[in-house]
Amino acid sequence: MGWVLLGFTYAVGGPLLGIGLYIVLRGRFPGWWMEWMLWPVKQVTPLVVRLQGLTVVGLGASIVAIGLSTWVSEFVGGLLVVVAIAAYVLGAGLYVYSTWLSRRGTKEQELA
């Protein structure tokens, strides 16, 4: 069962890390993304996109850290689990913040 869990975490977490880094470095979402994938984001700006990319990186790192925690000593495994939880919570916070940023009105919209 341990190899299956490790394989699953690499198969899911690894691509998430790659996709997140791609989005962060590029500063925009890929053109092939469907509209339903962006439903929480109202105004797509480079800052919002990079924050969303960091969210994906945090989620991928969290998944990989959980998988690795089963193969190391108890102390290091415990640290990895704490790091995974922190990465997940930080990623969730970045997601909420970036969504809020994309939905808040600009100064011109507030004055109108």
Rg (CA), the chain: 17
Q: Which two three-digit tokens encode residue 51? A: 């924050």
Average per-residue pLDDT for the chain: 85
Compute the C-alpha angle 78/22/24, nearest 5°.
Answer: 80
Is the model's pLDDT at 34 over the cut of 70?
Answer: no
3-state secondary structure the chain: CHHHHHHHHHHHHHHHHHHHHHHHHHCCCCCCCCHHHHCCCCCCCHHHHHHHHHHHHHHHHHHHHHHHCCCCCHHHHHHHHHHHHHHHHHHHHHHHHHHHHHHCCCHHHHHC
| CB neighbours of residue 43 within 10 Å | 11
* pLDDT score, position 30: 80
Percentage above 70 pLDDT, the chain = 88
What's the CA gap between 39 and 18, in Å, rounded? 22
* pLDDT score, position 68: 86
